[in-house]
Structures are given as structure tokens and as C-alpha cells.
Amino acid sequence: IIIITYLLHIGSNAVLKFAKSYGDHMVLQRGPQRAIVWGFSDVVGDDVTVTISGHGSSKATITKNTHGNGGVWKVKLPAMTDPGPFSITASSKEGSIKIDDVLFGDVWICSGQSNMEFNIHDMFNSSTVQADGFNYDKVRYMKVDHDQQTTVNNDLKHISISWTKPNQATLPWISAICFLFGKNIHTDRKYPIGMVESDWGGTPIETWSSPDALAACPKNRRKSWEDSGCWNAMIEPILPMTITGAIWYQGESNAGRVKYYDCQQQHMIEDWRRRFHDASLGETKNDFYFGYVQLAAFRNANFVDPWASMRWTQTANHGYSPNPDQKNVFMAIAMDLPDFTGPRGPIHPRDKLDVANRLSLAARGVAYKEHVEYQGPFPSRYRVTGKQLVIQYDKPIQVRSSVGFEVCCSTSSSSTCSVHDHWTAASVIQHGDNSGTLDIAGCQGRHLVGVRYAWKETPCVFKKCPVYGKASNLPGPSFIQHGNLSGSNTIIG
């Protein structure tokens, strides 16, 4: 009894400690990747041994902390495919510390602004989602508290929700998309999933980007105190954690600076990948999977930009993800899920279930290499016949509305729709299994130099945009095509 009491006393008061992102009930990354366990100590040069109950131990030397006082230790555990639960003990000359009920599975980061932070309590069918969620004790989550700093934090300052199983006290307040994504992946993969929520409503991409990522893109405004603030305080301190990937829902706060977002998002992703890889001693892949949600529908009005252009920019101007400029990147579409009467305003649609389902389906296709249809139909070819434009798609389609396409009519035969040209509505007049035909009589006497689809802030009412996958029911993404339309340089008429 005396020995046990002594060990507990050392464990609770020792300077040796885990980083704040580690705790009881957590999920560590499963094999073949090796999970990193790290923390702090005052005795630089001492050794720390980390033991997984019944599965051996690993050792590391405490080195000087470059972001604060004392020392830091970082241990790479053996690759674990046994889900657990396990107890993990760290020991040094300062004593022993332990975390219990630790599982091994896939770890995902959830970040962005308010639509990622939007909690389960406020979503549609909240009580049903919560009642179901309590059944998933192998889906664990934690939430980082809001913080911004001008320099890199040594560790997380505060944890809003410590690692936990789903329970009545915390589940209502966790990110709806974050938890439902994890639940869906767990249901599919049959092993534990850990979700780390680090987000903050109203934040621009600049605050989630490191100084290096920001420096890689043209300056689009004066330097702000927010620049790199959340990166320093809410991302940098979790970099050593080995992860499978990240999901991202952000862009509303950058919609007024659309032309810079392609560069900013691309460099943020590349920078996160490199830094998570380096901080995890090479265990997080340097091309880890990154999923995002395109901007959702917004106001019940006939506005076009900046929302429509932002959606296109989020795809690196391809219209879909992954693409040649977005390797291992996947996307969920939300433009057909408007919510004009939500208590938090139309910018916060409450249907997070469909968004999470679409995003996790895309993760299954891209990150987990499953043979699932995770993208809606996308144009593969265009053909002009008289006063009709036939759009060929890459998969079978269903058409739910005739309204949503526009064509650009020009008095010149240039291959680009200029500011002096005119976009006019073009209705769907017929469709086949893999094609849709548009009436382009509105361009009579002019040249057809462009076509675009769903190019509105809110392009349709709930799930009633024109084009969906025939088998998948997934919406076709918005797109814009300038020139290169078969026969488009001839005058329509």
C-alpha cells in the first residue's frame, strides 16, 4: 500500500507530463503508421520510457524545448493494429505518468470556421443524432479551445472538451460534421476513430496558415494580428500527433478575396502536410488526406458572386477533387442544401448529416481506396447542334430541374467570355442517360463562348439542382467552361 501511494503521488505531482492533447480515452494512430507520444520534463538529457500495457516499450531522450523552458520528449510507439483498450505509461527519473482506456485507430483533424464548429445540438434532428451517437463508444473526440497567439505556443493552452466517449455532457457541443464523419468511417472500417476538433467561427484562412504558407502567396491585404494566430495556438501544438488526415470547412470569411484563395488553400495544405510529417518523426504521411466542404448555399436571392467563384476556386479551378493540382484531396458539395429559416441565419444551414455523409463517402473513395461512387456527374464533352448544346457527362445522370445552366453569348468569336459579354439562361430541354441538352436560342446571332452551371450563391432549393448521379444521388458540382466548345465559334442561329 505504501509503494502504490508513493507512485500515485509521484505521478500526480511530477514535472514529467504528457502534452495536453493526450489523455484518458484517446485514440492514437493505428498501424502501419507508428503513433507518437510526447510531453515535457525539466530534466534535459534524461530518458523517458513509454510502455503500452502488454505490448512492450519505447525510449527517447529528453531534449531542450525550443519553444519554452525545460525539455521535451517524443517517443515513437510500435505499430499497433490491436484496437485495445490499453494503458500507456511514461517513466523517467522524475516518476511515472499514465493514461488509460487508449484505443488505436485512425485520427483525423477537423478545422475551419463556424460551419465546421456548428455543433450537434443545433443541427436538424439533433435528438435522434445524439441518441444514435451514444452507441459509438469507439468513436472518441476532443475539442481544442479557442486561442490565437502571435508566436508559436509551447502546448495547447486549454482543452474545451477532453478526450471522451460520446456522452450526454459533451456530444451535443461537439462539431456535427466532425463527429458524424468519424462515426461513418468507424461504421465502414470497423475500428476506432479519433476526431480532434480545432476550429473557430468567423476565422479566415490566414489565421490557420503558418508564416511560411502565407509568404508563398501574394499579399491580398494589410498584415493582420490574426495572421497565423490559430496556427500558432491551435495547430502547431498538435503537430507531433500521428494522423490519417484532416477535414476542413472554411471560406466564408475569405469570399471577398476569392482570387487569392486558390494559392492560399494549396499552400496551407502543403504546409500542414510537411509540418505534421516532420513533427511526427515521419509517421504522418507527407501527402496525407485532406477533405473539404465547398461553400454551402446561402441567401434566398439571385446573387452570383463571390460565392459561386469561391466554390470554383476551392477546387483549384477544376470543378472537382481530387484533381491534378489537389492530390489526395476530396470534397463534399453543399450548394443544394439551403436553410433559409435557420435560427443562426442562412449562412449556417442545419443539415450537417448530408454534408458529413457526402464527405465521409468521398474519404472512403480517396483515403481508403474503396470502389464507391463518391462524386456527382461532371461534363466530359460539349457539342453544339443548331440551337442546342449537348453536354456529355462522365456517368449516368438524373435531372431534377430544367433551370440552372447559363451560356455566354458574344458578338466576337473569342474563346473567353469577357466582361462585355452576356450570360443568359439555357434550359434543359431533354436528357439521356449520360447527357443533357440545353436550349441556347438565347444566343441567336451571336457566338457561344462559354457555359456555366449552378453559378449562383444559392443555385437551387433543397436537393433540387438540375444534375445528380443516377445511382449515387450525389449532386453534380458547379462548373464554368470558356471556349473549347465544339462548334462554339460559329454564330448560333
C-alpha cell recorded at residue 141: 473526440
Cis peptide before 322 (omega within 30 of 0): yes
Look up the pTM and report it.
0.94
Same domain for 112 and 220, yes or no, is yes
- Give the residue from 489, 492, 488, 411 showing the smallest Cα distance to 444: 492
138 inside domain: yes
Structural domain contains residue 490: no
Q: How confident is the model at residue 219 (pLDDT cuts 50, 70, 90)?
A: confident
| Mean per-residue pLDDT, 347-351 | 97
Element (H, E) at 4: helix 2-13
Contact 289, 370 (CB under 8 A): no
Which range among 110-114, 141-145, 148-152, 218-222 shows the weakest confidence by mean pLDDT? 218-222
Number of domains in the chain: 3
Those residues with Cβ within 8 angstroms of residue 15's Cβ, 6 or more apart along the chain or in another chain: 40, 41, 42, 43, 70, 94
- Say whether pLDDT at 386 is over 80: yes
What was the pLDDT predicted at 484? 56
Confirm whether 489 is domain-assigned: no
Residue 291 predicted with pLDDT over 90? yes
On whether both 206 and 277 belong to a single domain, the answer is: yes
Q: Is the pLDDT of residue 220 over 90?
A: no
Q: What is the pLDDT of residue 400?
A: 97
Tell me: do 161 and 306 sit in the same domain: yes
Give residue 367's pLDDT band: very low, low, confident or very high (50, 70, 90). very high
Confirm whether 292 is domain-assigned: yes
At 399 the three-state DSSP class reads: strand
Q: Write out the three cell numbers for 337.
A: 442544401
Query: Same domain for 118 and 88?
Result: no
Nearest to 282 by CA among 104, 74, 81: 74
Closest CA to 463 of 354, 377, 364, 386: 354
In tens, the pLDDT along 312-333 reads 999 999 999 999 999 999 999 9
CA-to-CA separations, 475 to 103, 350, 438, 472, in angstroms, rounded: 36, 18, 18, 9
Half-sphere exposure of 400 (CA within 13 A, CB side): 17
| Out of 57-61, 103-107, 289-293, 445-449, least confident range | 445-449
At residue 73, does pLDDT exceed 90?
yes
Reported as a pLDDT band with limits 50, 70 and 90, residue 447 is: confident
pLDDT confidence of residue 489: 56
The strand pair at 139-144 and 193-199 is best described as parallel
Q: Would you say 218 and 274 are in contact if contact means Cβ atoms under 8 Å apart?
A: no
- Residues 191 and 300 occupy one common structural domain: yes
Task: In whole angstroms, give the CA distance from residue 311 to residue 254.
Answer: 11
383 is a domain residue? yes
Q: Pick from 102, 125, 148: which residue ends a domain? A: 102
Residue 296 has a pLDDT of 97
Residues 390 and 341 reside in one and the same domain: no
Give kind and range of the element (H or E) at residue 5. Answer: helix 2-13
Q: What is the mean pLDDT of residues 287-296?
A: 98
Confidence of residue 2 (pLDDT cuts 50, 70, 90): very low
The candidate with the shortest Cα–Cα distance to 477, out of 353, 343, 358, 363, is: 358
Domain end marker among 102, 134, 161: 102
Spatial contact of 480 and 455, defined as CB atoms under 8 Å apart? yes
Q: Which of 54-58, 104-108, 397-401 has the lowest mean pLDDT?
A: 54-58
**Which of 61, 80, 102 corresponds to the end of one domain?**
102
Same domain, residue pair 280 and 175:
yes
Per-residue pLDDT reduced to its tens digit, 18-55: 999 999 999 999 999 999 999 999 999 999 999 999 89
**Residue span of the structural domain in which 13 resides:** 2-102
Percentage of the chain beyond pLDDT 70 is: 95
Q: Are residues 90 and 123 in the same domain?
A: no
CB of 357 closer than 8 Å to CB of 406: no
